[in-house]
Amino acid sequence: MPVTATPRNGSTAQPFDTDVLILGAGPVGLTLANLLGGYGVRTVVADAGEKLIDYPRGVGLDDESLRTFQTAGVVEQVLPHTTPQHIMRMVNGKGQVLANVAPGAQDYGWSRRNGFIQPLVDAELLRGLSRFGHVDVRFSHTLLGYVDDADGVTATVELANGGRTTLRARYLVGCDGGRSTTRKSMGVTFEGQSSPTRFLVVDVRNDPLGTPNAYLGADPVRPFVSIGLPHGVRRFEFMIFDDETDEQVADPRFVHELLARHVPDPAALDFIRQRVYTLHARIAGAFRTGHVLIAGDAAHLMPVWQGQGYNSGVRDATNLAWKLTAVLRGLADDALLDTYDTERRDHAKAMIDVSVAMGRILSPTNKAVAGARDKLAAALNLVPAAKRWIAEGRYKPKPRFHVGALVDAVGPAAEGQPVGQLFPQPRVDTRGEQNVLLDDVLGPWFSVLVWGNDPRQVFDQKSLATLTRLGVKLISVRPSTQLHWDAEPTGDPREALDVTVIGDATGRLKTWFDTHPVGFVVVRPDRYVAAAAVTQHATSVTTALATALDLTPGDPDAARPLLDVAHPAAGALAAAG
């Protein structure tokens, strides 16, 4: 039965079964549910399947995703299924290295490139939801239709036994893949193109090569991919030509012939799966209509060459989770959710474009074109700056928001300010611990980091009341030599507020504040800089922040995002108040 969506036409005045209904128990839905669970938001995850998909799909995990898993409290469970510092080499048909991507920097606290086993990581994300009594996962729940009214969404789902039930939620988030029924029912476009070129993916156990890292074979005879993954798994991918039929590709002898150029004995391989796929480069015309939103592949599809489909979906969940929480807690107006589309669209499109470009570099089968590419690559490798630019992966678009839940830079040095950028995550010292990752000190919600000064003296009473209402954690960043120094108390009532002091053990925060001409920075829960300025602009910037976040008026103690769940994030967020 096709999915139907009924337009909003007034309140139903029905009680809500949950705050957020997530359709799809893939990585995006599970990540979103873990973040919402940590924020104390009632959540139901409904998936049409009987269980999690158990075959490998995504194979590349980046530092931003690991940082999100850190915030969600599941990173330690995920790490055993990853290979950090996963190098990617593009080689031509002669085995010559055209490009070597090996970014070693850890600006955000984690390895930039990681191989991983998706089913095992997804299973850890699912297991993480067991921490929350207010998060429920329901398999064999297929969406039939929904009604979006003035207050929320009523979804009708079909159960495994053929019966039907309804679920009423404040918001519905479709994380239901490239064929998303949610997106289709929203009636939005899915702009872009699908390539007619097919690829065969083959995953095997007991890696027959045993070498780490990833190889992109820019071989005009037949482009291929060979990737060493955790737990002895290897992935091969081969371009399938137009004259090769699906029946031919399904023949084991054909697959063995493809593998024979890469492994000594294809017949002895322990196959996990083989599957044919096509490449898509598409983005939805809108990520939100009313109380319905989409994320992950439901919102955008990209070719596999940069391994960014999984990671882009996790970015969606990271952006959306805190905004849903702020609205549901009464801190922010519903208009805040519009910034989800505004902020995520441009970066998702940029990742699609770079993935398409990488595919064009890899896949020429014309020998003359491939030869010209090889000569250009050889010339670039002779230029140290160009070689370093490739090796460090700087061609990958960095996320940067120019409009959204942000405060426009102010002051004479506005051009150099970091608003809209991800804040770094070095290791720091606190008065109780040494060598801890910064985000573990900040907690999962908003924070204000002030260099050198006492935050309580930088912000006036009215500004501090706004920050307190938002649940901001106040941080004083100092050189480690000043970690245990305290000024004499003056009796100022602002001194009653808690401030966390951190020592900049590595000097990276001092360098950051030195590079960006600001004295304080407001960091959002997704670790983007919401506002930054010199300290004398603190009052005006706080006022602008309240506007940018669509903060609601009211009693500072009436709608603070304090949690009442037994999760590590709960204590950290409660302490932020």
Q: Which of 330, 345, 362 is the endpoint of a domain?
A: 362
Apex 338 CA angle, 335 and 344, nearest 5: 150
Least confident of 163-177, 388-402, 530-544: 388-402
Contacts of 395 (CB under 8 A, 6+ apart): 354, 389
Specify if 380 maps to a domain.
no
* Distance of alpha carbon 101 from alpha carbon 234, whole angstroms: 19
* Distance of alpha carbon 340 from alpha carbon 342, whole angstroms: 6
User: Does residue 342 sit in the same domain as residue 469?
Assistant: no
Specify if 202 maps to a domain.
no
User: Does residue 352 sit in the same domain as residue 421?
Assistant: no
- According to the model, what pLDDT value does residue 572 have? 40
User: Does residue 14 sit in the same domain as residue 162?
Assistant: yes
Specify if 75 maps to a domain.
yes
Per the structure, the complete domain to which residue 38 belongs is given by 4-81+116-190+284-362
> What would the pLDDT profile of 89-112 be if each residue is shown by its tens digit?
888 888 888 888 888 778 999 999
How many folded domains does the chain comprise? 2
User: Does residue 477 sit in the same domain as residue 548?
Assistant: yes
- According to the model, what pLDDT value does residue 411 have? 58
Q: What is the mean pLDDT of the chain?
A: 88
Domain CATH for 509: 3.40.30.10
Specify if 523 maps to a domain.
yes
Specify if 333 maps to a domain.
yes
Domain CATH for 44: 3.50.50.60
Q: Which of 319, 341, 362 is the endpoint of a domain?
A: 362
Specify if 207 maps to a domain.
no
Specify if 258 maps to a domain.
no
Specify if 91 maps to a domain.
no
Least confident of 160-169, 353-362, 371-380: 353-362
- According to the model, what pLDDT value does residue 280 have? 86
- According to the model, what pLDDT value does residue 12 have? 54
Element (H, E) at 193: strand 190-205
Model pTM score: 0.91
Judge whether 64 and 397 are in contact, CB under 8 Å: no
User: Does residue 462 sit in the same domain as residue 336?
Assistant: no
